[in-house]
Structure 1
Amino acid sequence: MSAILGIVAALAMVILAAVSDGDPISSLFSVTAVLIVFGGTGAAVTTQFGFKAVLTAGARFKWLVKPPAVDMLAFIEQVAAWSNLARSQGALALESELEAVEDPFQKQGLQMIIDNTAEEDMLPTLEAMAANAAREDIVASEVWEAAGGYLPTIGVMGAVLGLIHVMMELDHPASLGVGIATAFVATIYGVGSANLIALPLGARLGILAEARERERHLIIQGLMLLKQGKSGILIRQTMQNVLAQENKKKPEEVETGAAEGDALAEAV
């Protein structure tokens, strides 16, 4: 949510700055500039990444409202409970737990344990799934960062096109000022949206993607301990130590990560 507030605050500052100089808000709006800057940028990133990646990048915008995160402490307790169930009733007893698992990655791993997948097959499969998911997450960041590179240049292009139109109207001196001002709106759109939205958003999504990748690797370790038949107490102790070391090595950079770190400190 802080990312949304940051973007809104940044745009509000730009509008307030314009209004404080006595300019009408309408001076910041131009349909032509919107078409050139945002339409051109959209076409550029689609050419570079393809439709699927661009749609994924747009869908990831919702992460600013509710960042995806796994409650690792709850996962550790869940794996410990699964271990106790499997050790007392067998791995097939875990099938009753499958429907309650919402995370597709965890569900797939648990299904492999229920199916008695060999350990040497299970680990590379989960690692490949994690790598594919990480790539899908990071491509959204790359799309927004690429858009941040295209926007200023296309904004300048829009300003030049606007000036060309103004130059063609030199026989109407009274309209030159308005025409030139309108031309530079494209530059504002390009530079402003790149530095206030696209680049910060790309960086934010990159941080979230890295956090999700670390979570998946921790999930893999928990599932492999479950596969190896370790006791619930041992799984809990091992995973808490691994999570504590991970947090010390690279502290979480999102709000959910900070909350998990505090909870872990209390638990340990």
Structure 2
Amino acid sequence: MRVDRISIAGLLLGLAAIMLGQVLEGGSLSSLFQPAAFVIVLGGTLGATMLQTRFPIFMRGMRMGRWAFVAPPQVPDDMIRRLVAWAQLSRREGILALEKQVGNESDPFYRKGVQLLVDGADATRLREVMEVEITTYENTLRQAARVWDSAAGYSPTIGIMGAVLGLIHVMENLGDPTRLGAGIATAFVATIYGVGAANLVFLPIGRKLQTHVSQLIAVREIFVDGLVGIANGDNPRIIEGRLLGYVAQVPE
């Protein structure tokens, strides 16, 4: 896995901009740190998200959150080189020569694809079986990624609830006018937390995860397309040219 530096830089820049703006407005940074508001927003958002999501999907979504900062392995170029080498080997020695590759694949998806190829599945049937696997895999990952989008939807509303709770506390202390200003300011920190978490953390992470999911699916589609080409007996150069189309760079 590789560290996604732009994600880390973006998060730090967003937080720094908010804090700098607070200082430039003459405010105090300490007023932005309110444990009660933090507990309300984080706990409320987490609870609402858990309520709408099945536990396995929720936990997968939480684990996927690290992908926003440490990208999952995605090496389509290596996959293409392997497939071209397999195509050359199968043309020289036959498809059964790929049988030893089955044990070299740790991922069940890739192992299943090679096994189907070695077992003599025709190109159409091989694609049908593997496309079902890809669809299931994609749906599972996208549902998990949407956990963060859901959190982004709930967070601002929970922040408003936190602000209202703070104002209720202020109204209970109207007898002491000296505390009103600070109390109202503290109450609205919950709104900042809710809106800030949604737009600086939850929503960006959700979008970044969707990007990674698309890239992971593309690698699997490359794999299936390569196996189909081998099953059809296509020339390795033709297979390579077709697969390189998946990673072609758009000219600037």
Q: TM-score range by the shorter chain?
A: 0.7 to 0.9
Matching residue within 219, 222, 244 for 1:218: 222
Matching residue within 52, 58, 69 for 1:65: 69
**Separation in 2 of the partners of 1:25 and 1:51?**
37
**Separation in 1 of the partners of 2:26 and 2:55?**
42
Paired position in structure 2 for 1:254: none
Paired position in structure 1 for 2:120: 116
SS at match of 1:70: coil
Which runs of 5 or more residues in structure 2 are unaligned?
Answer: none
Report deviation, 1:16: 2.0
Report deviation, 1:36: 1.4
Asked if 1:78 corresponds to 2:82, the answer is: yes
Asked if 1:32 corresponds to 2:31, the answer is: no
**Separation in 1 of the partners of 2:128 and 2:71?**
28
User: Structure 1 residues 10-19 or 85-94, which shifts more?
Assistant: 85-94
Asked if 1:192 corresponds to 2:196, the answer is: yes
Deviations 1:190-239 (A, max 9, x none): 01111112122222222222233333223211111122233323322332
SS at match of 1:169: coil
SS at match of 1:222: helix
Report deviation, 1:120: 4.0
Paired position in structure 1 for 2:211: 207
Partner amino acid, structure 2, of 1:89: E
Deviations 1:48-92 (A, max 9, x none): 122222222222222223333533333222112112223333433
SS at match of 1:189: helix
Report deviation, 1:44: 1.1
Asked if 1:97 corresponds to 2:78, the answer is: no
**Separation in 2 of the partners of 1:239 and 1:184?**
54
State the TM-score, normalizing by the size of structure 2. 0.87
**Separation in 2 of the partners of 1:134 and 1:228?**
26
Matching residue within 240, 243, 246 for 1:243: 246
Asked if 1:176 corresponds to 2:180, the answer is: yes
**Separation in 1 of the partners of 2:107 and 2:32?**
44
Distance change (3 Å), C-alpha of 1:105 and 1:5:
farther
SS at match of 1:230: coil
User: Structure 1 residues 44-53 or 107-116, which shifts more?
Assistant: 107-116
Distance change (3 Å), C-alpha of 1:21 and 1:211:
same
* Contact 1:37–1:190 (8 Å) recurs in 2: yes
**Separation in 2 of the partners of 1:95 and 1:25?**
64
- What is the total number of aligned residue pairs between the two structures? 247
* Contact 1:140–1:205 (8 Å) recurs in 2: no
Runs of 4+ more than 6 Å apart: none
State the TM-score, normalizing by the size of structure 1. 0.82
Paired-residue identity, %: 36
Report deviation, 1:130: 0.6
Paired position in structure 1 for 2:131: 127
**Separation in 2 of the partners of 1:18 and 1:224?**
59
Paired position in structure 2 for 1:257: none
Which runs of 5 or more residues in structure 1 are unaligned?
Answer: 248-260
**Separation in 2 of the partners of 1:65 and 1:199?**
14
Paired position in structure 1 for 2:47: 43
* Contact 2:80–2:222 (8 Å) recurs in 1: no
* Contact 1:148–1:199 (8 Å) recurs in 2: yes
Paired position in structure 1 for 2:16: 12
**Separation in 1 of the partners of 2:23 and 2:104?**
53
* Contact 1:72–1:215 (8 Å) recurs in 2: yes
User: Structure 1 residues 184-193 or 11-20, which shifts more?
Assistant: 11-20
